[in-house]
Amino acid sequence: MNSVKTVGLMVGLTLLLIWVGGIFGGRGGMFFAFVIACGMNLGTYWFSDKIVLRMYRAQEVGQADEPELYRMVEELRQKAGMPIPKLYIIPNDTPNAFATGRNPQHAAVAVTQGILKILSKEELSGVLAHELSHIRHGDILIGTIAATIAGAISMLAHMAQWAMIFGRGDEDEGGNPIAGLAMIIIAPIAAMLIQMAISRSREYLADEGGARISGNPHYLAQALKRLEQGVKKVPMETNPATAHMFIVNPLRGGGILSLFSTHPPIEKRIERLEKMQ
């Protein structure tokens, strides 16, 4: 169901780009914004693992450094039928984890020192399986594509804004300047909402995939409860641009802000996992 939802959201985001491109800049403007956004996001996609790991001062560990952690990942990756990723420890007491890398052959899983302190072996295996599921499903690539399209829409909106400022907006072509102004504001917000919805659907898929890899949905469900409490007790200084990568959202937000959240509510994630029992 979440796979179908992701496809539908991606189609919707693409149609929004085509529609906005036609209104704001025609085919030329749409193509220009799309190429620029592709270039920016391609660089992020290709070097994301190095950038993010360096940002959080993650240190690579091997079998000799963390034998228990290495053994867990080795067993889980065999169940998942994928190469073993590089392992990193983040020197931070906030319990959290994330996966990065452009494909299964160039992937990394990073866990904080805090998560190793509070989770049992079973709960930790659920978290690691969740991250392996992200890698297996190609979520980093999907996220990059969504960011590329959303970025192109935002660029088109900025182009239209400058065109209106310098008097080359819709009014020169007999269009409605008020409608154009409304679209400049609404289009980027709509693109962001769809992008966040895609991220949330991929989290649900990673939960389901992780539960199957670990062999017990209860492991991940219990881990999410502990991590939610741990993040509240020990907040983490996080770059908002990387918040979507973590298994538990390090940024707080409720109510209307949940629409802009990259993660589904923990309660709903746990409820879905418990239904898999």
Residues serving a catalytic function are 131
Give the separation between CA 223 and CA 221, rounded to whole angstroms: 5
Which of 55, 138, 218 is closest to 146 using CA atoms?
Answer: 138
In the 8-state DSSP scheme, what is residue 242? G
Task: At 255, list the tokens.
Answer: 């109510």
First to last CA, the chain: 18
* Residues pairing with 127 in the sheet: none
Give the separation between CA 89 and CA 162, rounded to whole angstroms: 45
Q: Judge contact between 265 and 258, C-beta under 8 A.
A: yes
In the 8-state DSSP scheme, what is residue 235? -
What are the strands of the beta sheet with 107-112, ordered from one edge? 59-61, 86-90, 107-112, 97-101
Give the separation between CA 12 and CA 6, rounded to whole angstroms: 10
Q: What is the pLDDT along the chain (277 residues), one digit of tens a residue?
A: 555 666 676 677 777 777 776 666 667 766 776 777 677 667 766 777 788 899 999 999 999 999 999 999 999 999 999 999 999 999 999 999 999 988 899 899 999 999 999 999 999 999 999 999 999 988 877 777 777 777 777 777 777 777 666 655 444 444 556 666 767 788 788 888 887 888 888 999 999 999 999 999 999 999 999 999 999 999 888 877 788 889 999 876 554 455 568 889 999 999 999 999 7
State phi, psi for 196 to the nearest 5 degrees.
Answer: -65, -35
Q: Is 138 helix (H, G, I), strand (E, B) or coil?
A: coil
Give the separation between CA 228 and CA 268, rounded to whole angstroms: 13
